[in-house]
Amino acid sequence: MKAIGLALQNYHSVYLSLPASTFARYTNADSQAWTGWSYAILPFLDQAKLYNSINTSLSAGNDAPEWPKDPAFAKTVLTEFRCPADTTPDLNPMRGGFATSNYSGNAG
């Protein structure tokens, strides 16, 4: 949690605000791509390469073949998002095999 706290402070130093819980990235009226606070702080967790590999301009809609149904970045395990006491698998079988995170943001 210390790394997340420092990343949030550094994000605030750059943008003079904390990241929103979710960001909508609309490519057209019928599609939405969403990212969140955890995506926004990746560069401040020394994960700029992962941050830059995520194409947020793509649609996330079910009819959008360009949005990966099984994106490799979502399977990237980051220790910063895992509680050290959590003994569950790094990849969550209940969530499409995506990386497990123990932390979430509050939308207000």
pTM over 0.75: yes
Note down the domain range covering 65.
Answer: 2-99
Contacts of 2 (CB under 8 A, 6+ apart): none
- Alpha carbon distance 75, 57 (integer Å): 20
Whether 107 is in a domain gets the answer no
Q: pLDDT tens across 6-17, in order?
A: 999 999 999 999
Among all chains, which residue has been given the structure tokens 């910063």?
Answer: 80
Whether 34 is in a domain gets the answer yes
State in Å, rounded, how far the first CA of the chain is from the last one: 20
Whether 69 is in a domain gets the answer yes
* Residue 86 confidence (pLDDT) above 90: yes
Whether 82 is in a domain gets the answer yes
Average pLDDT, the chain: 80
Q: Provide the pLDDT for residue 104.
A: 84
Domain total for the chain? Answer: 1
Whether 104 is in a domain gets the answer no
Q: pLDDT tens across 25-65, in order?
A: 555 555 555 678 898 999 999 999 988 887 666 555 544 44
* Residue 91 confidence (pLDDT) above 70: yes
As given in the structure block, the two tokens for residue 45 are: 């967790």
